Structure formats: structure tokens, C-alpha cells
Amino acid sequence: MIMPKKILVVLGPAGSGKSTQIEFIKRDFGYKPLSMGDALREETKKKTRLSKEIQNYIVQGKLVPLELASDLMLGKIKKEMSSKLLLDGFPRELEQAVVFDYFLYSNDYQLVGVININVHKKECIKRLMLRKRKDDTETAITKRLEDYYTITKKVIERYKEKGKLMDINGNKPIEDVYKEIKRKLKKWKI
Ligand code: AMP
């Protein structure tokens, strides 16, 4: 019997420590990370009209348009040979989640679950100020956090209703956050 490919999603506000936790999950559970932000940053290096457009969204901390984000991420998933994928930062708005769910259903992927790392807004801002990424300006940070608490919130609610959500308390030291994730992932038998 052919087993469906498994997909895990990791969400959390900017500065929630997603990337660090994703590295731990990769190490222990063999899931291959695919980051939406990295994929978009990669696109901006191409020096095309589209890359300039993407760059504009990124510097403002705005979500890129639905079709662009979905085409890019779903295209990447399709090309992946790995049978276990870990999506970082996608889907981030309800419309993306609808497109994503349909894609999973029609391509026979199994959504194992959605991990949401909760961190207080103040703590996120503090951490982002220490990081030195180009789009970590005050305006972009404010916009990204605002979108997370309004737009991405709906994605989180959607997967909660489907019984697919794993809420994590990210207001703890990195190792403790991971302990909680690992314990819960083991229960999910991923
Ligand atoms: P990140 O690396 O996750 O902080 O994302 C950096 C930037 O990429 C965001 O501020 C958005 O401009 C864009 N981005 C990341 N994920 C998405 C997504 N799922 N949909 C639309 N835009 C995104």
C-alpha cells in the first residue's frame, strides 16, 4: 500500500522562535522544512519585475497576494521527494488555507497537524529587535504581528475546528518549548 505523504505546518507570530523549533523537529522526526519566507526571499534575488514586487511586500511586512504565495508553495511541495514535509509560515491567511486543504485532498497528502507557537507580543518585538533582518523595521514588524493576530488567527481557528491544532506555549526557554512540542508530537504518532 502506498502511504500518503505527511505534512506538518508550523505557525506563530514573527519572533516566536519557529525556525529554531523547526530545526529540532527536523532533527528528531525527519521532516523536511519548507519555508514560505525563504522561498519568497529566494525569488527576490532573481531580478525580475515580480521579484521587485515581492520585495515591496516583504519590506512592508505585508502578505504577498494569494495566488503568488499559493502557486509558489504548492509548486515547491509538488517537487519535493521527501515523504515528510514541515511547512514554515504557510498557510497564513484563510484563503490560503482553503486552497491548501483542497490541494492536500486532491493530491493525497495527509495533514498531520498545525503547530501554533504562542508568544506574547512584547516578547516577539524584543526578540525581533535583536535579530538583524532587513525587514525587521518597526513598521514591518508591527504589520506582521497585526496580521498574525487578525488574519492568521482565522487559519488557526479553522484547524482547531478540524481537530488539527497543537497550541504551544512559546513564552519559555527554547528547550522547554521544544519539550512540549516533542511530547505532543509523540502523542500524535507522527
Ligand atoms: P517570514 O520569513 O515568515 O517572517 O516571512 C517574511 C515575509 O514573507 C512576510 O512578511 C510576508 O511579506 C511574506 N510571507 C511569508 N509567508 C507568507 C504567506 N504565507 N503568504 C503571504 N506572504 C508571506
Predicted pLDDT of residue 190: 81
Question: 63 CA to middle of ligand 1, Å?
Answer: 6
Residue whose Cα lies nearest atom 11 of ligand 1: it is 63
Question: 86 CA to middle of ligand 1, Å?
Answer: 16
pLDDT tens figures, 128-181: 999 889 999 999 999 999 999 999 999 999 999 999 999 999 999 999 999 999
pLDDT at 1 over 90: no
Helix (H) or strand (E) holding 177: helix 174-188
Contact 56, 109 (CB under 8 A): no
Cβ–ligand 1 distance for 62 under 6 Å, the answer yes
Cβ–ligand 1 distance for 63 under 6 Å, the answer yes
Three-state helix/strand/coil letters over 9-62: EEECCCCCCHHHHHHHHHHHHCCEEEEHHHHHHHHHCCCCHHHHHHHHHHHHCC
